[in-house]
Copies of this chain bind each other. A is one copy, B any other.
């Protein structure tokens, strides 16, 4: 089904509103048009590029939404969260995060971003990491902006476990993947206690 330009642009507006982190490439593939077409649509509609959209969303505060730890204990900048579902954070690689010798980001900073996001996404007062499996897929360099997306994949209420997958990307390329088995005190959300 070929959409008219007007239909496509309306759909573009709605899609980006729902998911401000969608890339031009993802939009192009979803609408079966070229990336160039998406860029022109955005230009006509005055929708900023992904990087600018992220900055805008990042200015929102999530202080009241995270339950398992104070927001300033999240490593990186929280840009989106839906408790027990998913969370997204940004982390800018600066000189203090790299090996001096090769300017590659040190693994524990990528882990810290991912692990603190896996803690933050849990809708509970206490969340602790029990196990995790990590893959460092591609070296991350000085100046890179790492976008980590955490997704809750499974809950085991008998063992008080929640499983979280975190994928970190730099300019749409996966650089790190982590699977986290998290312990929590209570399986159920306690929205009234927040």
Chain A residues close to B by CB (< 8 Å)? 69-70, 73, 75, 99-102, 104, 106-108, 111-112, 115-116, 126, 128-136, 139
Question: Which one, B106, B129, B133, B136, contacts A107 given CB within 8 A?
Answer: B129
Q: What are 15 residue pairs bridging A and B, where the CB atoms are less than 8 Å apart in the complex?
A: A69-B101, A70-B101, A73-B100, A73-B106, A75-B108, A106-B115, A107-B111, A108-B111, A108-B112, A108-B115, A111-B112, A128-B139, A129-B134, A132-B134, A134-B134
User: Chain A: interface secondary structure?
Assistant: mixed
Q: Which B residue sits closest to A177, measured CB to CB?
A: B131
CA distance A132 to B180 in the complex (A): 12
Which 6 A-B pairs give the minimum distances between C-beta atoms?
A108-B112, A107-B129, A132-B134, A133-B133, A131-B135, A129-B136
In this complex, what residue of B is CB-closest to A139? B128
With contacts A70-B100, A115-B108 known, is A131 near B136, CB below 8 A?
yes
What residues of B have a CB within 8 angstroms of the CB of A73 in the complex?
99-100, 106
Among A101, A107, A131, the most chain B Cβ lie within 10 Å of the Cβ of A107
